[in-house]
Amino acid sequence: MKVLLDTNVLVAAFATQGLCHAVFELCLDQQQIILSQEILKELGEALEKKLKVPHATVKRAADYLREHAVIHRIKGPYPRNARDASEDHVLALAEQAAVDCIITGDEDLLVLNRHGNIPIVRPRRFWEMMKNRESKSR
């Protein structure tokens, strides 16, 4: 399954050992993670400016993601779909990379529920979906 991890999920995954970190680890292990340069840039800015993470650490995180995720180049311009125009690149990436799921905590995306046939879910919902799938396969 190809999954798009939104910036807010990645920030939480790198900042704490909570649910988003567990979802990130699950995706690394069992899914194909799709990201873009835009998401990597947003992640770097959030980690450095908001969380005061040293630049060298941010660079290592970005390098790690480049190594373990598919970095898809978004072809623009992309249509206005999200409530917040700054999130339109996420929807364009999801569509162009043909992902199976968008995982986010951003209400401007979650309010859509879907983008075409791509579900937009919270990290908790994705975790539950994967655990339910796992228990059914036993």
pLDDT tens digits for range 35-59: 999 999 999 999 999 999 999 999 9
Residues 15-42 pLDDT 10s: 999 999 999 999 999 999 999 999 999 9
What total of structural domains would you count in the chain?
1
The amino acid occupying position 21 is H
pLDDT of residue 82: 66
Classify residue 1 by its DSSP letter: -
Closest Cα to residue 88, out of 121, 112, 124?
112
Can you give the CATH number for the domain in which 48 is found?
3.40.50.1010
Residues 56-113 pLDDT 10s: 999 999 999 999 999 999 987 776 776 766 788 999 999 999 999 999 999 999 999 9
Sign of the alpha-carbon torsion through 66, 5, 22, 57: positive
Domain region containing 107: 2-136
Query: Residues 32-51, buried b or exposed e (16+ Cβ, 10 A)?
Result: ebbbbebbbebbbebbeeee
Say yes or no to pLDDT of 1 above 90.
Answer: yes
pTM of the predicted model as reported, rounded to 2 decimal places = 0.93
Which residues does residue 4 pair with via DSSP β-bridges, in sequence order? 34, 102
pLDDT of residue 136: 79
Closest Cα to residue 65, out of 77, 47, 51?
47
pLDDT of residue 11: 97
